[in-house]
Every structure is written in structure tokens, then in C-alpha cells.
Amino acid sequence: MNEEYIQNVYESQLKDAHVPTVRSTVKFASFASNLEIEIKESVKNYGNALQEYIDLIEQYYYPSEAKERETYKQLLYVWRLTELLQFDLAQQPLSEALMTWFNEAHRPLYFEYNKQAIIFDGALDRPDFWKFAIRMAVLGQLSQIALLFQHVLKNSQFAKLSQILAYILEVRNHIQHGHVDRENMQKTLISIQKTPFLDQVSRNHASQMISLMSVLLGDEKAILQHTTSDIHALVCLAYYQRTESIQALAQTFYSKHKQCPQSIARSLLTNDLYTAIEQGIQYDWWFLAHWTDLLHSSNRLDRPIQIQTGTGMVSLPVKNHFILYYASFLFNQCGLWKESFAYLLQCDDIGRSAIAKHLNNIDLTLEDEKIEDIVSFCQDYGFEQSLYQKKADLCLAQKNYAKSLNYYRLANQVGSIDQLFYDVIRHFAMTGQWIDLTYEQDGLYYTIYRSMLQIAASHEALDFSSAAHLFKQLIKQANIPSTLLPIIVWDNLTLVDDINFGYLDKQNLLDLKSLCQSFSKYAVPEDFELFCYHIQPKTDPYQQQQKPTLDQLIFSMNEFLDTSAVKISRAIERTLENTSKPYLPSISL
């Protein structure tokens, strides 16, 4: 997996997305299988969560809340459409359910005309009578049209319009049972089109009635003329044509009307889900995370998406992309680590990689209860090592070497453990104090540390014979780091000075001289940083914290090379002097 992508996920802030607390705490459902009943239940739950949030924010009237309320009404509008088209949650025929969906989202269309005034104040004489009737038609409100016509038929003042009233009666009869009697409605339409009306008023009414009946019969031209948008027109067509496939109808419709604007609703109606998701990026990523997960879980997204990064393309399931970013947002900006990790666990290996990276950013100085929660999560899902690594690094930074070693051991970080012993040696060089740690396995720095510790203990106990034995074993190692060799030799020059005690024989001294001469050929000032700390007085802690200058390093290098060369050479000379003296037997008097 592209490391740059993981890093981008880890740093997710979603600065342009507004995520209220109410929704940020909604738990993400886990799908153990693709059973439709489980998915449908989750779809309902998420839709209800959106509605509850809208109901809550309806109580506030500040401009920011009003804008937010409208935004989430749009989200609910899209979510409800998805319920119908992708999750089959319609409780009635799809064409009727779509009309109900559209009306709920566009309630002002219903109230644009004054219904009561039209019915009780002039009816047919009012200029908005037919506008209202046709509006009710494009909203599928057949009962309202029947009620309106019933009031007209009861009013005796329109008796002079007998021809029109006869057709009004027929139309009312064709819709009074809640659906359009298409066969008889078509006959009535043909009849009125052939009828010669003598006066202009009747001709005007007839023209409007023809428009109304054309809508009721699903005439596309008439519907386009009287609807408010392409979505409205398509829903109205489906409603009156009783289509079995909204997708086929939508694709045919938009192939004829290419000038219609692109929208997420249009893409959903044509079942172009990937385009719909792309258009939905403008919305809250809470919505996108749950929406794409449900589509994925119900097998409606059949291919991955490609995400461009600076180092290449990353291919992953659509839902993973949105969940990863939203979950990291919850962690980074809301502090909701439990919710964040619950989301990330739904994203396969890449989600676990993101969790591991976030664990490195968790504050492990929190109170014990929170730490216990984090540890429990890590144990449940196999993230112990990441947590232990983080805790070990924290303890090491605090120079709590014993605890750091314990956590590195739990994390099974062998390399980090060995590096820890280098830090312990560095601590000794700077403070002059040894820390006694026990470890079960061998490693380069641990082996050197253990030998140096034992040699120091032998010197302190004045057991120079043991110190010499351990020192000889240590310098036989061919891989002593150049940064540690000066300290090892320097602290054991007393064994060289006390040559008369025989701690080091001639061959030992020659080996030591050869080692130091070889070292001097490739040594550089930077190799003497720890040695520089080591030979400074330990009474000034501040001075010990300062990084040595180049001049100090050069001085330390010369100090070591010169002093060790002189002492070793003199010791070798003394051994030669001792071996050249004649043997004088003791004489007892």
C-alpha cells in the first residue's frame, strides 16, 4: 500500500467539512455478511439519524444553523432516494414512492397557490385555477384535483359552461379512485380535442384541460412544460407511465434531453453510482462514509477507484477511501479514538495500517483508565506491539531504561532493544553511572554493555584479575563500534599501568597496541563524542548536555590516541625489561 496515501489519511483534517457532534458519535455498523435484512436496517438507521439531526437543528434560527439545516435536508433528499433505488425500501410501487420522495423534498411547490381561495372564491373564474390543478397533477395529487372539480360541479354559477363542466365531470370520474383510468381518460382527451367550442372562455378552459389530461396520461412534452426541473419531470413521467424500470426510463429521458444539468439525483436515477459518489464529495464525509459502505456491502459497487498520490496511483474500494479519511478526522479533530478505530477496522489491511500509525500519536501520559481502554482495544485486535513500541519509545525518551526494555520486549522489537543498550552506554558516558539491566538474548550493544558493566563492577571491587579477564575477552571482538572503543580502552588503562601485577601479559599488550594503531588509522573526530562526554567532569549537568564542538572532539581524539599509545608502549617496554633481567635464585641465610 502506498505509504504516502497512508500518511495523507493519517493527517486527515477535512478542513472544509462541517461535522456536528451529534453525527460524529453515530457508531459505524459492522456487516458480518451481506444479508439484505441487515443492510436495510442500517440504511433506515442512518436515514433516521439524519432526520433526527435536522429536527434538532430546526430549533435554532441563526444564519449558520439555517444554512446547515438546508445542507442536511439535501443530504436527506439524496439518502431517501438511495433507499428507494439501491436498497428497495419503498413501501409502495416505485413510481409512487418516487413521487412521495420528491414532494417531501419540495413542499413549497404544493403551497405556491392559495387552494382555499381558489375553491371558495371564484374557482373557474380565477386565473390560477388551472395552474393549481396542473400543479397538483405534476405532484401526483389526484385527490386534490378531484376535490377541486367537485366544488366546481356543485357551483351553479358555472351552468353556462355546460360543455366544460361535462368534461370536468368525466375527468373527475377518471381519477376519483386514486389512479388514472388511462383508457377512458384517453377517450375524453380525444373528444375534447374534437369538440368545437363557440366562445373564447370555453376554448381557454378546454385548452387548459387538454394540458391537464396530457399530464395525467404521461405525455412527456406536457410534463416538461409544467414541471420545475428535469428530476421533477422524470418522476412525473414515471408516476403516470407506471414504469417498471426507472433506470431505463431515466437513461432514455436524458439521452433525449442532454441539456439537463448534471446532479447527484440524476446520476442515482440512471444508476451511475460512481458519478453520483464523485458529485457527493461536496457533502459531509460522514454521509459519504456510510453511504459508500452500504453500497459496497450490498454489492452495488463492482470496481475499485484510483487515487493519485505524489508517488503513484493507489487502488482501493470506494468505501475504504471515505471511511479512512472520515475516521482519521474523528481521531485528529474530535479525539474520538474508539469511534475512529471502529471505522478503520472496516477497511481491511489499510485500515489496520492507519490504526497502527494513529497509535503512535496517542498520548500515553493519559490517566490509567484511558490507557487501559487503549490497551484492551489493542489486545482485542492484535495491536499490542504498536502500543508497546510507542510506550517503549516514550520511556526511553524519559531515560526510564528498565521500563523501556520491558515494553520493547513485549513488542518483540529486538533491534530497538539492542539500540536501547547503546543509549544506556551513552548514559554512562555522560553521567558516569551504570544502570543494571538484564536481557535474555545476545545483541551487539547488549554484549558490549554487559561486559563493560561487569568490568566496571570488578574494578570497583578491586578484583583486577577478573576485570583483566573480561577486558581481554571484550577486545577480541572484531565488531566493537568505533564510538565505544575509546571508552572501553580508556577505562582499562589502569590494567596497563599495573603491569607488574601481571594482569596483561606481553601478548595481550601487543594485541591491544595493534588494535589501537588500526583504530587510529580510520578514526575521525566524530567517533569521540561519547569519549568527550566521558572524560569531562560530571559536576556540571548543563555542560554534559551540550553537544561537543569540533575542537573539543579533536582534543579528545588526540588525548585518547596519545595517552593510550604512550601507556601501552611503556607497558610493553617494561615487559621486555622484565624478561631481559637475569634470573637470580634466592639465597637462604
Write the pLDDT tens digit of every residue in 66-77.
777 888 888 899
pLDDT beyond 50 at 299: yes
Identify which has the larger pLDDT, 340 or 216.
Answer: 216
Contacts of 197-200 with C-beta under 8 Å, sequence gap 24+, read 197/163
Least confident of 158-167, 255-264, 519-528: 158-167
What is the pLDDT, as a whole number, of residue 457?
A: 92
**Separation between Cα atoms, residue 75 and residue 282, nearest integer Å:** 11
Quickly state the pLDDT bin for 232 (edges 50, 70, 90): very high
Quickly state the pLDDT bin for 98 (edges 50, 70, 90): very high
Query: Any idea what DSSP says for residue 123?
Result: G
Q: What is the pLDDT of residues 330-339, one digit of tens each?
A: 888 877 888 8
Over range 406-412, report the average pLDDT: 82
Over range 182-199, report the average pLDDT: 93
pLDDT beyond 50 at 560: yes
What is the pLDDT, as a whole number, of residue 585?
A: 46
Q: What is the pLDDT of residues 468-496, one digit of tens each?
A: 999 999 988 768 999 999 999 999 988 88
**Separation between Cα atoms, residue 499 and residue 251, nearest integer Å:** 100
Least confident of 160-164, 203-207, 418-422, 440-444: 440-444
pLDDT beyond 60 at 86: yes
**Separation between Cα atoms, residue 227 and residue 243, nearest integer Å:** 18
The three-state secondary structure class of 89 is coil
pLDDT beyond 80 at 368: no
Over range 541-564, report the average pLDDT: 84
- Rounded alpha-carbon distances, angstroms, from residue 346 to 12, 296, 322, 341, 374: 17, 12, 11, 9, 18
Cα separation of the two ends of the chain:
92
What is the pLDDT, as a whole number, of residue 168?
A: 94
Identify which has the larger pLDDT, 59 or 586.
Answer: 59
Quickly state the pLDDT bin for 561 (edges 50, 70, 90): very high
Closest CA to 357 of 371, 339, 379, 337: 337
pLDDT beyond 90 at 112: yes
pLDDT beyond 80 at 527: yes
Query: Any idea what DSSP says for residue 26?
Result: P
Least confident of 26-40, 202-216, 488-502, 509-523: 26-40
What is the pLDDT, as a whole number, of residue 539?
A: 67
User: Hey, which residues does 314 pair with through a beta bridge?
Assistant: 307
Closest CA to 499 of 561, 579, 586: 579
Q: What is the pLDDT of residues 302-331, one digit of tens each?
A: 899 998 888 888 899 999 999 998 888 888
What is the pLDDT, as a whole number, of residue 483?
A: 92
pLDDT beyond 80 at 369: no
The three-state secondary structure class of 552 is helix
What is the pLDDT, as a whole number, of residue 366?
A: 63
Question: Angle, to 10 degrees, between the axis of helix 182-194 and the axis of helix 200-216?
Answer: 150
Please check whether residue 493 is in contact with residue 567, taking contact to mean a CB–CB distance below 8 angstroms. yes
pLDDT beyond 80 at 191: yes
Total-model pTM: 0.69
Contacts of 416-422 with C-beta under 8 Å, sequence gap 24+, read 416/389, 416/392, 417/441, 417/443, 417/446, 418/443, 418/444, 418/445, 418/446, 419/445, 420/396, 420/445, 421/445, 421/446, 421/448, 421/449, 422/449
What is the pLDDT, as a whole number, of residue 37?
A: 56
What is the pLDDT, as a whole number, of residue 220?
A: 96
Please check whether residue 75 is in contact with residue 50, taking contact to mean a CB–CB distance below 8 angstroms. yes
pLDDT beyond 70 at 25: no
pLDDT beyond 70 at 586: no
Please check whether residue 247 is in contact with residue 270, taking contact to mean a CB–CB distance below 8 angstroms. yes
**Separation between Cα atoms, residue 460 and residue 353, nearest integer Å:** 50
| Cell numbers at 445, concatenated | 550493544
Look-up: residue for cell 561486559? 451
Could you write out the DSSP letters of every residue in 508-542? HHHHHHHHHHHHHHH--GGGGHHHHHHHS-TT-HH
What is the pLDDT, as a whole number, of residue 550?
A: 93
Closest CA to 49 of 69, 76, 19, 85: 76
Closest CA to 170 of 156, 185, 183: 185
What is the pLDDT, as a whole number, of residue 95?
A: 93
**Separation between Cα atoms, residue 480 and residue 59, nearest integer Å:** 74
Please check whether residue 547 is in contact with residue 526, taking contact to mean a CB–CB distance below 8 angstroms. no
What is the pLDDT, as a whole number, of residue 248?
A: 93
Calculate the average pLDDT of the chain: 85
Look-up: residue for cell 493507489? 314
Look-up: residue for cell 582534543? 555
**Separation between Cα atoms, residue 354 and residue 290, nearest integer Å:** 18
The winner for highest mean pLDDT among 223-227, 290-294, 409-413, 515-519 is: 223-227
Over range 517-542, report the average pLDDT: 85
Over range 141-157, report the average pLDDT: 88
Please check whether residue 575 is in contact with residue 509, taking contact to mean a CB–CB distance below 8 angstroms. yes
Over range 428-436, report the average pLDDT: 88
CB neighbour list of residue 390: distance below 8 Å, 6 or more residues apart: 359, 360, 362, 364
- Rounded alpha-carbon distances, angstroms, from residue 368 to 362, 371, 373, 380, 410: 13, 5, 9, 18, 19
Over range 338-360, report the average pLDDT: 86
Quickly state the pLDDT bin for 399 (edges 50, 70, 90): confident
